């Protein structure tokens, strides 16, 4: 609670950074869980290191590219609609400046300013940079800080890859007898860390988030291991 108040008091900058950080942690979490499920499932079916490495690497690449593509599409769409809203705002400011000044005045009044002060503030903001004022107050957009879809895509790619590397290395590097144990323990430990960090960054209570996160990962590995073992035993 104190954290959200704190970040709001300092404007959008810190809040936006926390959101990015949280998205990175969640991306890494996805990489850990999906790749862990994959390699543990394959480890249930086969003892061959090459098969584990192939499956883990394919999972890492497929997952990170799919995350990056999804992020690219979603941020591009958001950016398009923000640009369209800004263009419309620009047109309205040109075509009916008086109505726009009145609109800004009313929005500022709604935020708690008296009529006269709101009018004065609207006049000054309009003189300085009308479009920016309308973008911020009316649309909630900072025209200088539209999210770049390539940055967002790259960040998702890196976050997922970092997460996916953990189960991949944990299953491939140790001797066969240690393989599963090392993977399960390191994955669950990492999920404690990502669950805790994402809860803290979202200003939520960490212990329940950690529990859910670890349970989700354990369930994913348990199910794929069971499936892999059945397939392996059936000689598929």
**Stretch binding Zn ion (CB under 5 A), from 11-19, 112-120, 123-131, 135-143:** 135-143
Indicate the SS3 state at residue 225: helix
Choice between 5 and 127, CB closer to Zn ion = 127
Choice between 57 and 113, CB closer to Zn ion = 113
The candidate with the shortest Cα–Cα distance to 202, out of 18, 35, 9, is 18
Cα–Cα distance for residue pair 217/207, rounded to 1 Å: 16
Question: Which residues from 147-166 bind Zn ion, rule CB under 5 A?
Answer: none
H or E segment to which residue 7 belongs: helix 2-9
Closest approach of Zn ion to the CB of residue 206, in Å: 42
State yes or no: residue 119 binds Zn ion (CB under 5 A): no
State yes or no: residue 100 binds Zn ion (CB under 5 A): yes
**Stretch binding Zn ion (CB under 5 A), from 37-45, 134-142, 192-200, 208-216:** 134-142
State yes or no: residue 135 binds Zn ion (CB under 5 A): no
Question: Which residues from 6-65 bind Zn ion, rule CB under 5 A?
Answer: none
With contact defined as beta carbons under 8 Å apart, do 60 and 35 qualify?
A: yes
Closest approach of Zn ion to the CB of residue 131, in Å: 9
Closest approach of Zn ion to the CB of residue 93, in Å: 7
To 10 degrees, the CA torsion angle through 64, 69, 70, 72?
A: 120
Closest approach of Zn ion to the CB of residue 107, in Å: 8
Interacting residue with Zn ion among 134, 156, 157, 163 (CB under 5 A): 134
Choice between 105 and 197, CB closer to Zn ion = 105
Looking up tokens 């690219």 gives: 72
Cα–Cα distance for residue pair 209/55, rounded to 1 Å: 29
DSSP 202: T
C-alpha angle 55-156-226 in degrees, rounded to nearest 5? 35
With contact defined as beta carbons under 8 Å apart, do 89 and 139 qualify?
A: yes
State yes or no: residue 130 binds Zn ion (CB under 5 A): no
**Stretch binding Zn ion (CB under 5 A), from 17-25, 54-62, 102-110, 221-229:** 102-110
Choice between 123 and 219, CB closer to Zn ion = 123
Distance of CA 123 to the CA centre of its chain: 38
Residues that bind Zn ion (CB under 5 A): 100, 103, 134, 138
């Amino acid at each position: 609670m104190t954290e959200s108040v704190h970040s709001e008091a300092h404007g959008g900058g810190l809040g936006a950074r926390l959101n990015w950080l949280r998205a990175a942690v969640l991306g890494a979490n996805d990489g850990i869980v999906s790749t862990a499920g994959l390699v543990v499932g394959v480890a249930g079916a086969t003892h061959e290191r090459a098969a584990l490495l192939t499956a883990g690497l394919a999972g890492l690449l497929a997952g990170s590219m799919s995350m990056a593509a999804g992020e690219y599409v979603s941020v591009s769409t958001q950016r398009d609609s923000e640009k369209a809203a800004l263009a419309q705002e620009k047109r309205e400011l040109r075509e009916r400046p008086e109505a726009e000044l009145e609109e800004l005045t009313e929005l500022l009044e709604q935020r708690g300013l008296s009529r006269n002060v709101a009018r004065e503030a609207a006049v000054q903001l309009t003189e300085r940079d009308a479009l920016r004022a309308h973008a911020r107050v009316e649309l909630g957009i900072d025209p200088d800080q539209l999210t770049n879809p390539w940055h967002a895509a790259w960040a998702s790619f890196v976050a997922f890859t970092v997460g996916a590397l953990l189960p991949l290395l944990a299953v491939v590097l140790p001797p066969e007898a240690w393989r599963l144990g090392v993977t399960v323990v390191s994955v669950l430990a990492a999920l404690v860390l990502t669950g805790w960090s994402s809860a803290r960054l979202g200003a939520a209570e960490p212990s329940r988030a950690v529990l859910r996160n670890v349970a989700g990962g354990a369930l994913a590995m348990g199910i794929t291991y069971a499936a892999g073992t059945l397939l392996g035993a059936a000689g598929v």
